[in-house]
Structure 1
Amino acid sequence: MSAVTQHLLLGGERAATQLSELGVRRGGVLLVHASIRSAGGDAGSMADALRRTLGPAGTLVVPAFTPENSDTSRAYLDRVRGLSDEARAEVRASMPAFDPATTPAPAMGALAETVRLAPGSLRSTHPQTSFAALGPAAEELLAGHRQDCHLGEGSPLSRLYEADAQVLLLGTGFDSCTAFHLAEYRRPAPPRRLYRCVVASEDGRRWWEYEDIALDDSDFAALGDDFGRSRPGAVTYGTVAAARSRLFRLRAAVDFATGWLGDRREDGP
């Protein structure tokens, strides 16, 4: 065994111990947002540590979002800002169609890609906000992701809520907490907007437009801070590898966020 391999194995064992001490439930369901750069080490070792901590009966879930195939996403708008109409058209024509079996999710980070590509991994089929999962509950959690529902009742987030999943923010902040989006759908009259993305079809590449909730994560950092302060013990803080991390129950976070957003945001027309 090389010194590098031994170092990675020891790092993975240490991370698994830290995850257990943080409170990750063996046999449970865990949604993870991770910055491997903050944690140090490599994504493969961290994925192994997470799976070892969850055990064979546990299920690991990650976001596998793909803003790269949408011309209504922030990623696209940032990319084409200042370009001519002709250059915008070229960018749009080059955007790859979504295929759940092969389309990468680079914006989600190295851990998400490692889980997506792992043997036995499953992925939901939404062309913008899919999730990938490993474990015995993966199929049940990911099945039936409605094409016109990013992150609401017709998405894996709703089933993660029902499963009383935990959420781990590993080196990331509450601003990346996808679970809070489910609370946006649970407001009485949330604003809506049009989305558009390119998908694969029997006839080849085609653009698809649909209406859904106007997702807005601009206040999630403040929301998360209030959640941690006002619910003593709801969020467990610790270090995993080199990353400052937070662990909490998805259900508790969504319930808190539903009331918090209802008090601070205006409803749609």
Structure 2
Amino acid sequence: MVHASLSGTGAAPETVRDALLDALGPGGTLVVPAFTPENSDTSRAHQQLIAGLDEQEIREFRAAMPPYDPDTTPCPTMGALAECVRTTPGSVRSAHPQTSLAGLGPRAPELLDGHHPHCHLGDRSPLARLYAADARVLLLRVGFEVCSALHLAEYRTTPPPPRRTYRCVVEDKGNWIEYEDAALDDSDFARLGERLPKELLVRREWSGRPVVQFRMRPVVDEAVRQLSCRTARLA
């Protein structure tokens, strides 16, 4: 699973995609986050889109919002590599209307199938399947603040995280659905990454920024421990 920022590298996303697939080999599967927070009026991304609009304009904007379609809905906030993987012929994308993942490779259908529409990134999402598969995570010129694997740790903390209401558009314009799921909070992810044991991480650099690779399972387990301890201290 790769999170990447290619800005300033001069590298085309297709070149990076192909290099990653070559490194994985014919049996490997490449997965990227293909999130669509713009599809939800409960997200920061949506609030930025409607900033400055009056009430009537907001109603018209919401009524015209296209529903999530795994085959066609772009993921502009996820970066060039994610959009490249999503649009590559043969790619697979999970079904969640806000936090889908896209993948290329022989295990993509198995890993990305069955993404429950009311579970962003917990045990009914592809993250749990990637964890079970002992997947590796690559942070390519980005930090832990965008590391989606840590959201799986949030779901597994003791006590579990609070819940909140989410809304998004599915199937048809104007068809808004509402559901409850964990109140996801990535505000501590960067500090959590700094506290991870060094032996869990392989650090390099590319084009002036850090690159970090790690096995998902031990890092998620350590994150569960840290986040549970933090919750216990705040209780």
Same fold (TM over 0.5): yes
Partner of 1:102: 72
The runs of at least 4 aligned residues of structure 1 exceeding 4 Å deviation read: none
**Counterparts of residues 62-211 of structure 1 (less than 5 Å):** 62-187=32-157, 188-201=159-172, 205-211=174-180
With the length of structure 2 as denominator, give the TM-score of the two structures: 0.94
With the length of structure 1 as denominator, give the TM-score of the two structures: 0.83
The equivalent position to 2:215 in structure 1, one of 244, 249, 261, is 249
Letter in 2 for 1:217: D
3-state DSSP of counterpart to 1:190: coil
Q: In percent, how many aligned pairs have the same letter? A: 56
1:169-200 Cα deviation digits (max 9, x unpaired): 00101000000000111023310000000111
3-state DSSP of counterpart to 1:103: coil
CA–CA separation in structure 1 for the residues paired with 2:127 and 2:8 = 25
CA–CA separation in structure 1 for the residues paired with 2:46 and 2:87 = 25
CA–CA separation in structure 2 for the residues paired with 1:172 and 1:134 = 21
Q: Once structures 1 and 2 are overlaid, which stretch shifts more, 31-40 or 218-227?
A: 31-40
Q: Structure 2 vs 1, CA of residues 69 and 258 (structure 1 numbering), >3 Å: closer, same or farther? A: same
CA–CA separation in structure 2 for the residues paired with 1:50 and 1:242 = 19
Q: Structure 2 vs 1, CA of residues 66 and 250 (structure 1 numbering), >3 Å: closer, same or farther? A: same
For these two proteins, the number of residue pairs brought into alignment is 234
1:52-111 Cα deviation digits (max 9, x unpaired): 000100000000000111101111123334532222222222322101111010110100
- Gaps of at least 5 residues in structure 2 are none
CA RMSD of aligned residues (A): 1.9
Partner of 1:260: 226
1:19-50 Cα deviation digits (max 9, x unpaired): xxxxxxxxxxxx00000114331101000000
User: How many Å apart are 1:220 and its aligned residue?
Assistant: 0.4
Which one has the largest radius of gyration?
Answer: 1
The answer to whether the Cα contact below 8 Å between 2:154 and 2:160 also exists between their aligned partners in 1 is: no
CA–CA separation in structure 1 for the residues paired with 2:106 and 2:209 = 28
The equivalent position to 1:53 in structure 2, one of 2, 23, 33, is 23
Letter in 1 for 2:91: S
User: How many Å apart are 1:232 and its aligned residue?
Assistant: 2.7
- Gaps of at least 5 residues in structure 1 are 1-30
The answer to whether the Cα contact below 8 Å between 2:63 and 2:174 also exists between their aligned partners in 1 is: no
The answer to whether the Cα contact below 8 Å between 2:161 and 2:182 also exists between their aligned partners in 1 is: yes
The equivalent position to 1:238 in structure 2, one of 204, 208, 227, is 204
3-state DSSP of counterpart to 1:36: coil
1:136-175 Cα deviation digits (max 9, x unpaired): 1101100100000000000000000000001000010100
3-state DSSP of counterpart to 1:248: strand
The answer to whether the Cα contact below 8 Å between 1:68 and 1:95 also exists between their aligned partners in 2 is: no
Is 2:7 the partner of 1:37?
yes
User: How many Å apart are 1:265 and its aligned residue?
Assistant: 2.9
Letter in 2 for 1:124: S
The answer to whether the Cα contact below 8 Å between 1:131 and 1:156 also exists between their aligned partners in 2 is: yes
CA–CA separation in structure 2 for the residues paired with 1:222 and 1:190 = 18
3-state DSSP of counterpart to 2:139: strand
